[in-house]
């Protein structure tokens, strides 16, 4: 182990040296290519240093002994003895040669004789377990010891990687060579989320050049979930990953409200596309009465016939609404100028005098271009629209909703109280409306500003490096300038490192090479349209459990959501083993599952704790508060994490929807009868709540327990 860490330190020192050399490399001010080359080298070495730093913790966690006597060490990254021979000292866990560490069994040893798993603290081995392969009757420690130690360990603040304890069924999914959409379905505790994240790490390892430039998007149900899983990929040395909730997919939008089930169902259906198209068409109008336009020498009018012709021409262009406005204006302008010329030139001007005719038209066009009344008329008949303005006007008007054929449940008093269900509609409207000339100009100005800032930062960095070279005889000044240069370089490269995430988050048109969708059963048909736009290559890892669906617009089958986009290009892989929930708790949750999803088989737990889940009935609010406080105080004295789950009006309780995908050592479920009362969605939420615990589960209730929980031990 000491030799491996020594080699790691050498690699890190070499990467830092190359980083410094890249920063000091001479730059031709007239040659942008040399600056690009230097920045690419700086960025590459920065990422290399980050990966090497991550490997300090648990660098080597396993060893394989082959039947021929060879030893292979398995770790977080690959290390080689030197740059010339390139002999492997440590195999990256994702390498093909390391796969036997995860899939070899006594019955199928994959050419291996022994598997050893190391338990380390810092850079020291404190223990190890051996599994003899190829001899099922051998009386040696089994590979389950490391797995059980991991699943029994107290939970920390975030999800941990499972790189040392990946199981065979998980490894098969992680390494699956499938270019399209992979659906991973599993019940609570099956590790589907962490498997998906390890699959991302594997894809970045095997397809780094293709994937790293555009990055990977991970979509999760809420910020707490994303915070919980955000440490996994960095712990594996991967950082070009963008984390978002479905509400973040429209840049700059702030979700402040929640739709009722009926509104969410209508907004999530692809049928809403017809409503959006009709709502746009409702803003393309003919005047009830002709609109007068008073020019300097003549008065003209925009009548219904002219407006209708212009509308038909604009729609026939098949351009988005805001871009088709130019066609509408061209037709209206042509009609008005033709009429004006004919009146002004009556008696002296004919079409045969083309020069005079066109000269007069040019003067009229200039006048119309600055005419406030004409601009107001155009805005009345074919206004420039934004997604937000269109939806807000639609939601707050019963008349517009009826005209668009929308369901009345979409009506609301505050049109701009945006919900998660509005996000895919707003995103769709970006394409249906188009950006318009003003938005394009603003984007060009913002891009120019970003380029100027980047050039300024690079120039400052060059200046500081030049100053350092001029002060070689003054050691203390060299040290000060070196620190300053490296600090600025760090800030610059960090900014570059964050740029992908920053630019992706701010750019609605950013596309990713791969997208992970967690809790995918909650996404609607319209949500999937957004995600497919974000990944034109249709490379997805989809994670979910149909039995846990709570959204009225969510998936009832994977094919219903995916076949419109990737028919024949998606594969399904189930996970059936529960690594999180003890058998005692899973038995209770399985009873709830059987009531609302009788055809779904619950995952089988790998362990039992001997601690039965309990229930206690309280009489009033005071007793409920006291019982919750007692639970919190008791768990505060224990190692690990805990949570209270229940209705929003219970002090200190977290809603089931807010803890999806999370896990805790101890869970207290409050008033399950109220959670269950919310119909099919309530049953799914109670199932979620009951399956968050890794060690201990308690239930507090006022009314009689639901029948499915009647078997709980009275506490």
Annotated ligand binding at 192? The verdict is: yes
Per-residue model confidence (pLDDT) at position 488: 43
What tokens does 186 get?
A: 């599993």
Q: pLDDT confidence of 206, banded at 50, 70, 90?
A: very high
Per-residue model confidence (pLDDT) at position 126: 86
- For residue 310, pLDDT beyond 60: yes
CATH match of 176-248+508-575 with 3.40.50.300: yes
Annotated ligand binding at 134? The verdict is: no
The DSSP bridge pattern shows strands 124-132 and 112-121 to be antiparallel
At 89, which helix (H) or strand (E)? strand 88-92
pLDDT tens track for 351-407:
888 999 999 999 999 999 999 999 999 999 999 999 999 999 999 999 999 999 999
pLDDT tens track for 507-548:
999 999 999 999 999 999 999 999 999 999 999 999 999 999
Q: What is the average pLDDT value for the chain, to the nearest integer?
A: 87
- For residue 446, pLDDT beyond 60: no
- For residue 625, pLDDT beyond 80: yes
| Contacts of 113 by beta carbon, 8 Å cutoff, 6+ apart | 65, 66, 67, 132, 133, 134
Per-residue model confidence (pLDDT) at position 361: 93
- For residue 485, pLDDT beyond 50: no
Annotated ligand binding at 189? The verdict is: yes
Q: Alpha-carbon distance 380 to 85, whole Å?
A: 75
Per-residue model confidence (pLDDT) at position 523: 97
Going by C-alpha positions, the residue among 232, 38, 3 that lies closest to residue 123 is 3
Per-residue model confidence (pLDDT) at position 359: 93
Annotated ligand binding at 386? The verdict is: no
Per-residue model confidence (pLDDT) at position 497: 41
What average pLDDT score do residues 463-471 get? Answer: 47
In the chain, where does the domain assigned CATH 3.40.50.300 lie?
A: 176-248+508-575, 583-714
Q: Is 643 left (phi over 0), alpha (psi -120 to 50) or beta?
A: beta
Percent of the chain with pLDDT over 90: 64
| Contacts of 365 by beta carbon, 8 Å cutoff, 6+ apart | 333, 337
Distances (CA, A) of 101 to 42, 75, 108, 520: 35, 11, 12, 31
Annotated ligand binding at 613? The verdict is: no
Roughly what angle, to the nearest 10 degrees, separates helices 372-381 and 321-344?
Answer: 130
- For residue 29, pLDDT beyond 70: no
Roughly what angle, to the nearest 10 degrees, separates helices 475-506 and 2-24?
Answer: 90
Q: DSSP for 419-443?
A: -TTHHHHHHHHHHHH--HHHHHHHH
Q: Which residues pair with 667 in a beta bridge?
A: 643, 697
Looking at 3.40.1390.10, 3.40.50.300, 3.90.1150.10, 3.40.50.12780, the CATH number of the domain 583-714 comes to 3.40.50.300
Q: Which residues pair with 71 in a beta bridge?
A: 65
Per-residue model confidence (pLDDT) at position 680: 66
Least trusted range by pLDDT, from 88-92, 146-150, 194-198: 146-150
Q: Alpha-carbon distance 72 to 91, whole Å?
A: 7
Q: Alpha-carbon distance 407 to 48, whole Å?
A: 54
Least trusted range by pLDDT, from 341-355, 524-538, 626-640: 341-355
What average pLDDT score do residues 236-263 get? Answer: 92
> Which pTM value belongs to this model?
0.83
Q: Which residues pair with 241 in a beta bridge?
A: 216
Annotated ligand binding at 186? The verdict is: yes
Annotated ligand binding at 190? The verdict is: yes
Matching residue, tokens 């490379």:
539
Phi, psi of 105 (to 5 degrees): -130, 170
Annotated ligand binding at 715? The verdict is: no
pLDDT tens track for 36-51:
777 778 878 888 888 8
- For residue 663, pLDDT beyond 70: yes
């Amino acid at each position: 182990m000491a030799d491996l860490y020594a080699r790691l330190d050498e690699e890190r020192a070499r990467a830092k040296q190359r980083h410094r050399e890249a920063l000091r490399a001479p730059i031709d001010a007239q040659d942008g290519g040399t600056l690009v080359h230097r920045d690419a080298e700086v960025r590459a070495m920065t990422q290399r240093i980050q990966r090497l730093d991550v490997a300090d913790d648990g660098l080597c966690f396993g060893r394989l002994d082959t039947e021929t006597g060879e030893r292979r060490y398995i770790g977080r990254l690959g290390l080689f003895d030197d740059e010339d021979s390139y002999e492997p000292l440590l195999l990256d866990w994702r390498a093909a040669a390391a796969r036997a560490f995860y899939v070899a069994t006594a019955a199928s040893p994959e050419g291996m004789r022994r598997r050893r798993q190391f338990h380390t603290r810092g850079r020291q081995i404190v223990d190890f377990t051996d599994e003899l392969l190829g001899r099922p009757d051998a009386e040696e420690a089994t590979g389950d010891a490391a797995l059980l130690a991991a699943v029994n360990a107290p939970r920390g603040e975030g999800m941990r990687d499972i790189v040392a304890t990946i199981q065979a069924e998980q490894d098969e999914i992680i390494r699956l060579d499938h270019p399209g959409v992979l659906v991973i379905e599993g019940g609570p505790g099956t590790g589907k989320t962490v498997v998906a994240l390890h699959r991302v790490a594997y894809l970045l390892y095997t397809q780094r050049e293709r994937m790293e430039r555009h990055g990977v998007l991970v979509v999760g149900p809420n910020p707490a979930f994303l915070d919980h899983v955000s440490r996994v990929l960095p712990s594996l040395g991967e950082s070009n990953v963008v984390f978002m909730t479905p509400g973040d997919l429209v840049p700059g939008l702030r979700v402040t409200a929640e739709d009722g089930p009926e509104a969410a169902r209508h907004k999530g259906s692809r049928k809403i596309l017809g409503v959006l198209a009709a709502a746009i068409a409702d803003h393309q109008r003919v005047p009830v009465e002709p609109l007068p336009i008073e020019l300097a020498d003549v008065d003209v009018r925009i009548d219904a016939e002219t407006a209708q012709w212009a509308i038909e021409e604009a729609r026939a262009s098949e351009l988005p609404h805001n871009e088709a406005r130019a066609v509408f204006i061209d037709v209206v302008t042509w009609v008005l100028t033709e009429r004006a010329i004919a009146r002004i030139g009556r008696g002296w001007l004919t079409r045969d005098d083309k020069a005079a005719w066109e000269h007069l038209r040019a003067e009229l066009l200039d006048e119309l271009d600055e005419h406030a009344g004409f601009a107001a008329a155009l805005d009345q008949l074919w206004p420039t629209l934004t997604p937000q303005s269109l939806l807000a006007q639609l939601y707050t008007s019963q008349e517009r909703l009826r005209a668009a054929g929308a369901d009345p449940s979409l009506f609301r008093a505050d049109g701009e109280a945006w919900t998660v269900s509005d996000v895919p509609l707003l995103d769709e409207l970006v394409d249906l409306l188009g950006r318009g000339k003003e938005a394009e100009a603003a984007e060009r100005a913002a891009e120019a500003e970003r380029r100027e800032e980047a050039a300024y930062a690079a120039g400052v960095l060059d200046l500081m490096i030049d100053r350092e070279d001029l002060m070689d005889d003054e050691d203390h000044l060299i040290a000060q300038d070196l620190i300053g240069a490296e600090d600025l370089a760090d800030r610059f490269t960090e900014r570059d490192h964050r740029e992908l995430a920053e630019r992706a988050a701010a750019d609605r048109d950013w596309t990713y090479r791969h997208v992970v969708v967690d809790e995918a059963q909650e996404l609607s048909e319209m949500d999937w349209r957004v995600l497919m736009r974000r990944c034109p290559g249709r490379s997805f890892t989809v994670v979910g459990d149909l039995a846990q669906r709570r959204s009225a617009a969510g998936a009832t089958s994977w094919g219903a959501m995916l076949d419109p986009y990737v028919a024949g290009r998606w594969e399904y892989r189930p996970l059936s083993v529960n690594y999180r929930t003890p058998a005692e708790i899973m038995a209770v949750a399985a009873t709830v599952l059987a009531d609302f999803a009788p055809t779904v088989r619950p995952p089988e737990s790998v362990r039992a704790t001997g601690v039965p889940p309990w229930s206690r009935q309280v009489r009033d609010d005071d007793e409920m508060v006291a019982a919750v406080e007692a639970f919190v105080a008791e768990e505060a004295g224990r190692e690990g994490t805990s949570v209270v789950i229940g209705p929003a009006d219970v002090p200190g309780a977290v809603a089931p929807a807010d803890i999806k995908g999370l896990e805790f050592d101890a869970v207290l479920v409050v008033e399950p009868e109220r959670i269950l009362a919310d119909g099919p969605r309530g049953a799914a939420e109670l199932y979620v709540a009951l399956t968050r615990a890794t060690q201990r589960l308690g239930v507090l209730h006022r009314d009689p327990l639901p029948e499915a929980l009647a078997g709980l031990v009275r506490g």
